[in-house]
Structure 1
Amino acid sequence: MNYSTLKKVFAASALAVAGISAASAQDTTATTSSSTATVFGGRGQYRTWSIGVNAGVLTPIIPFGTNDYNEWDAQFGAGLFIKKQLAPSFALKLDGHLGTVAGEYATNDGRTPLPAGVAPSFKTEINYAVSLKGVINVGTVSFLNRTKNVGFFVQGGAGLVNYEPDANNRNELFIPVGVGANFKLGEVVALNLGYDANFLDADNLDGSWRNGASNKDKWSYAYAGLEFALGNRAKPSLQWSNPVALMYDELKDPTLRQEVEALRNRVNTLEGTVNQLSADADGDGVSDRFDKCPGTPAGTVVDGAGCPIKLQDTTGATFNGQSAVIQFEFDSSVLRTSSYPVLDAVATDLKANSAARINLAGHASAEGTEQYNMNLSRDRANSVKTYLVNSGVDANRVTVRAYGESRPVASNATEEGRVLNRRVEITK
């Protein structure tokens, strides 16, 4: 092993990190305040993009498996990445690094001597190794705080590597798998420490030498670097957000409790107002709050203000003293409950006089098209017929006619007149 090279690389990385940390000390102090994010504020309240640079050592081995060349040299490597945080616990990262891997073949561990013509050492330039990785944040040491200061991650993905093990330039697929830790230095800067084991889909990274059966090559990249959050500095970074602690803090927040109590009071007030608006003591279909004629007798046909309507009966016909005109709401063919006593009287009269027949003439006010009002007036007449048939009247004794808006009994220029025109006339 080339321990001298290894020491130099780590020393240079430590000095760089120390310099950046000192420069960002003021920013670190300013960022100890709590996050401004809220539980249901959405992803837009966070910064989700970041970029990073790193440097470290490349070696042609990993901690497990068999390596063709058993002695390795630590070589300098450098990398950069861009990352999109999709959730506090998951991100996608486009990652890349380059450098050199080198090693020697020694027999001091009992290995057989190299065949003739096989080089006892190799040195391969990795021009680039680019991969798309998924990064999973698996833990933190500050799980009680809204924002984390230290986080641990695992990552993995797939990519393409370009290298020159001999005179030929090669492109091969590889699988990177890694672990690491992040240390928050401020709202913008974080320190990354990581280790990636890279599995090559080929056996030529160390030249043409193959130790026994097929043994695809691997290389490691151990690094330290800096990550910079992009976007508005007033927003916290999503990767440092702790949703569990954030939710717990908000539930215990006295301001939130006051808002919930105020909301409860507003709901109670609204329910009281609705009850007042819906109260209808005389049952005429107009709430007491707007009823200008309270206390009207049951069955009285009223207008929108709750006052009795003087109905015009075109034939003068009455049934058990009840007027023979049924009124309807605007654009509706549904019977009012106040019409039931009138219709019950009609049904009683018809059942007592088996030879009697009646006509139901449906009418409408002038809003809408003529065809629409014709259909609406027919539906109103059929609603009356259905009620009478369900009350025991033979359907053959009831004739339905529709007149639409063609036969008004009052002016359609006023609401009072339109109320009178929304009707079904019952004639013998």
Structure 2
Amino acid sequence: MKKHLTAITALVLLNLSVFAQDTSHSITVVPPLTGASGFRTWSIGINGGVLAPVAGIGGSNDYTKWMATLGYGAYLKYQATHHLGFQLDYVGGTLEGNNSKALSDGTMRTGPYASFKTSLHYAGTLSAVYSFTNINWLNRRNIVIPWVSLGAGLAGYDPTMTDASGTTIHSKPSGDIHELTIPVGAGLKFNVAPGINIDLGYKMYFMDADNLDGTERFPLHKDRFSYGFAGLEFSLGSRSKPQLLVDNPVYDLHRTLRAENEELRQRIMAETQAAEDANRAKLAQVAALQEEVDKMKADADGDGVSDYFDKCPNTKPGVKVDGSGCPLDTTPRVIQQHFEVTEEDRRIVREAIANLEFDFAKASIRPSSFPSLDRVADILVRKNFSLKLAGHTDNVGSADRNMQLSKDRAESVKSYLVSRGANPSRIEATGYGMTQPIASNKTAAGRQKNRRVEFTLY
């Protein structure tokens, strides 16, 4: 029992802290007469309180003294309308009593047992819950909401009786007793934050049997128990939606009408202001247009270009001018054509790289490479491109020797291209030695790939 109550308390405190930190969350206003789809209608609740084998209606059961014990519960609720909801409840705990209290005539009740203790494993019920004050003409919001409930369900319990000698007897050793129960309840809900209510209530559970305390009394006296509790109810769904249970449709209607009136007033004011601004703008446009026309008519230097467009005023008579009134520039100009690197240009460069071969350990280009290099030179001459040559070697030999060899091979390619008419200032030749391999130097094929000159055309 203590474990259950500890878990309930921890969950309550955690949810209170979460909702306390989210007080700034805005709630959407639901227009009246639009149904329940805009509200949060589902909720869950947890509670804890006092169980007793006695009810406000009908009194106690078959023992003269009832004991108050700790109980716990939870529920799932669907709010169908502002007033009516349906709630699926669970209640658990223990019930205890004894015959230590004298009867009204001063005598003690005699019987086979001195006390009992019933483990209430569950009381599962479905109830209709009617809430009051949801439609409130006096207050804007509903904070305190009374409710009553009536339902039916099934209870499972295990009574244990103790006789005067201290011997304990199970009423049903083979397992729980399952009986019909009718719960009747009333209480108050307090809306303390958007989507969270404090729930205080008292419920009486009327059993359809006289075995809740393991003892039957004649004539037949059906047993009952009660549960007084306090707990929290949390609405499910989007937190931007209001909770249907605490919503006041009268206030929502008033707020909607007030918002619509304010929106209409603001729209009329905005339209009026916009019309005035438009009239002022049109008058300003007319004045500006007249000023522009006057400027366009003036031509002080007589060059045929109005002063408004004349960027070179006071032009001497007879001088030919362009459309902006400035003297025409008759100086001959050399027009340089600009070319973009095409995919065909890149293909020719790739082919030159693939066909480029040198004599072994030398910078001398083999004649088989000349045709493809000639095509690269032709591109450089025709399109005035720039070219970067980067020489690389494998790791055979010393680093210094390889660095020098890579530079010499790059320079050899540059010299060849210059000999075919390429601009030397647009060709950069650099050697990197064996510092930038593109394949493993452990194989002949890899070393072959690393002995290369890369062309970058731009």
Which range, TM-score by smaller chain? 0.5 to 0.7
Amino acid at match of 1:24: F
Tell me, yes or no, if structure 1 residue 60 matches structure 2 residue 66: no
Long gaps (5+) in structure 1 = 263-428
Give yes or no for the alignment of 1:46 onto 2:39: yes
TM-score of the two chains, using structure 1 as the length reference: 0.52
Alignment of 1:20-419 (within 5 A): 21=16, 23-27=18-22, 29-30=23-24, 36-67=29-60, 68-105=62-99, 106-107=101-102, 109-110=104-105, 112-116=107-111, 118-139=112-133, 144-165=138-159, 166-168=170-172, 169-210=176-217, 212-255=218-261, 258=264
Please report how far the alpha carbon of residue 167 of structure 1 lies from its aligned counterpart in structure 2 after TM superposition.
Answer: 3.6
Aligned to 2:410: none
| Alpha-carbon separation, structure 1, partners of 2:19 and 2:27 | 18
Alignment partners' CA distance in 2, 1:223 and 1:96: 13
In structure 2, distance between residues paired with 1:46 and 1:192:
20
Q: CA deviation at 1:23?
A: 5.0
CA distance in 2: counterparts of 1:11 and 1:140, whole angstroms? 34
CA distance in 2, matches of 1:14, 1:148: 26
Distance in 1 (alpha carbons) for counterparts of 2:199 and 2:30: 24
Q: Secondary structure at the match of 1:24?
A: helix
The alpha-carbon deviation at position 216 of structure 1 amounts to 0.8
Structure 1 position 35, deviation (Å): 5.2
Any stretches of 5+ residues in structure 2 without a counterpart?
160-169, 269-458
Once the 2 structures are TM-superposed, how far is the Cα of residue 114 of structure 1 from its aligned partner? 3.1
Q: CA deviation at 1:101?
A: 0.7
In structure 2, C-alpha distance between the alignment counterparts of 1:126 and 1:111, rounded to whole Å: 32
Name the structure 1 match of 2:418.
none
Q: Does structure 2 retain, via aligned residues, the 8 Å contact 1:45–1:235?
A: yes
Provide, for residues 85-135 of structure 1, a one-character-per-residue CA deviation record: whole Å limited to 9, x for no partner: 10111111111111111111221533543335x212111111100000111
C-alpha RMSD of matched pairs (Å): 3.3
Give the distance between the partners of 1:107 and 1:15, measured in 2 at CA: 41
Task: State the AA in 1 paired with 2:182.
Answer: I
Q: Percent identity?
A: 37
Q: How many Å apart are 1:257 and its aligned residue?
A: 8.3
2: CA distance, partners of 1:26 / 1:85: 26
* In structure 1, distance between residues paired with 2:11 and 2:56: 27
Structure 1 residues 78 and 135, CA, compared in 2 at 3 Å: closer, same or farther? same
Q: d(CA) in 2 for partners of 1:121 and 1:208?
A: 10
Structure-2 separation of matches of 1:225 and 1:181:
11
Given residue 250 of structure 2, which amino acid in structure 1 is its aligned partner? V
Q: Secondary structure at the match of 1:87?
A: coil
CA shift in 2, pair 1:243/1:20, >3 Å: same
Shift of 1:39: 0.3
Count, aligned residues: 251
Conserved? CA contact 1:57–1:74, under 8 Å: yes
Pairwise CA distance, 1:252: 4.3
Asked if 1 retains the 8 angstrom alpha-carbon contact of 2:118 and 2:158, the reply is yes
| Pairwise CA distance, 1:148 | 2.1
Distance 1:121 1:71 in 2: 9
Aligned-partner Cα distance in 2 for 1:101–1:34: 43
Q: How much does 1:164 deviate? A: 1.0
**Equivalent residue number for residue 352 of structure 1:** none
CA deviation after TM superposition for structure 1 residue 74, in Å: 1.0
Cα displacement string for residues 225-278 of structure 1 (whole angstroms, at most 9, x for unaligned residues): 11111111111111111122222333444537839x99xxxxxxxxxxxxxxxx
Q: Is the CA contact (8 Å cut-off) linking 1:37 and 1:45 kept in structure 2?
A: yes
CA contact (8 A) 1:114 1:120 kept: no
Which has more radius of gyration? 2
